[in-house]
Amino acid sequence: MRLENKVALITGGGSGIGEAVVKLFASEGAKVVIADINIEQAEKVAGEVTGSGGEALAVKVDISNKSEVEKMVADAKEKFGKIDILINNAGINRDAFAVKMREEQWDSVVDINLKGTFLCCQAVQSVMAEQGGGKIVNTSSIGALGNMGQANYAASKAGIIGLTKTLALEFARGKIYVNCIAPGATKTPMTEGIPPDIAEKIAKKIPLRRFAEPEEIAKAHLFLASSESDYITGQVIFVDGGISVGI
């Protein structure tokens, strides 16, 4: 098993890609901390992991709140003694054309997606450095390249790429690897509300002609979280069915 005896902290682990990451990591031997604003969902996923013989802890957290993030990290370390892997998966969207976008829509998306990622990386750095290293995988998006009606989301996801590259440089001496996944359209609760005709049009623009399954994105996380990526840091992997090639 590729993550045997590792401890992985996954934000947004209660649903979607985060849930898929939790279950894949647990199946690969990791002890998982499922951090989510929706504690009921986090506990449900934790129950499924423990029911399958794994070890899991559910934690409620607003990742845009520094004190809550620090408590999340402290709780994870208290429970399992260390944190080997951080998956920054939690994120939101509040779509609107720029000229109509309210300040609250901008602030909430940037606070959760970009600030939240930064706070989680900052909080876990000292734990990982003290134990001799670790793996951080941030979550950008194909939207980082620009998308109509998503000025806030695109800015936050592009910011995560810059943050990833900078932290890879700053954290390297502590043997902390920092990389980034940029998913394309994926079957998650965030995309469930897309009308079928619009979803079909989106799929036709993707070279592979379909949305990704959450488990397919999770496999890319597994690679970057495992020892198989031990000479990779500061990189962004687009897991998008090829659509970024034509942009």
CA neighbours closer than 13 Å in the CB half-sphere of residue 144: 25
Domain regions of the chain by residue span: 7-238
Contact 80, 7 (CB under 8 A): yes
Rounded CA-CA distance 206/187 in Å is 14
pLDDT confidence band for 198 (50 / 70 / 90) = confident
Q: Does residue 246 have a pLDDT over 90? A: no
Alpha-carbon torsion 232, 93, 19, 134, what sign?
Answer: positive
> What average pLDDT score do residues 177-201 get?
89
Q: What pLDDT is attached to residue 193? A: 76
> Reduced to 3 states, what is the DSSP secondary structure of residue 66?
helix
Q: What pLDDT is attached to residue 89? A: 98
Rounded CA-CA distance 140/156 in Å is 8
Q: What pLDDT is attached to residue 247? A: 63
> Reduced to 3 states, what is the DSSP secondary structure of residue 82?
coil
Q: At what angle do helices 16-27 and 39-51 cross, to 10 degrees?
A: 20
Alpha-carbon torsion 140, 142, 146, 151, what sign?
Answer: negative
Instruction: Read off the pTM.
Output: 0.96
Q: Does residue 195 have a pLDDT over 90? A: no
Kindly list the catalytic residues.
Answer: 153
CA distances from 134 to 205, 212, 218, 225 (A): 37, 28, 18, 9
In single-letter form, the type of residue at position 103 comes to E
The mean pLDDT of the chain is: 96
pLDDT confidence band for 194 (50 / 70 / 90) = confident
Question: Any idea which fold 7-238 has?
Answer: Rossmann fold (3.40.50)
In single-letter form, the type of residue at position 83 comes to I
End-to-end CA distance of the chain: 37
- Please give the helix or strand (H or E) that residue 219 lies within, else none: helix 214-225
The sheet with strand 134-139 has its strands ordered as 56-60, 31-36, 7-11, 85-88, 134-139, 176-183, 236-239
- Tens of pLDDT along 66-124? 999 999 999 999 999 999 999 999 999 999 999 999 999 999 999 999 999 999 999 99
- Tens of pLDDT along 109-145? 999 999 999 999 999 999 999 999 999 999 999 999 9
Contact 210, 201 (CB under 8 A): no
Question: Both tokens of residue 17?
Answer: 């890609």
- Tens of pLDDT along 1-35? 999 999 999 999 999 999 999 999 999 999 999 99
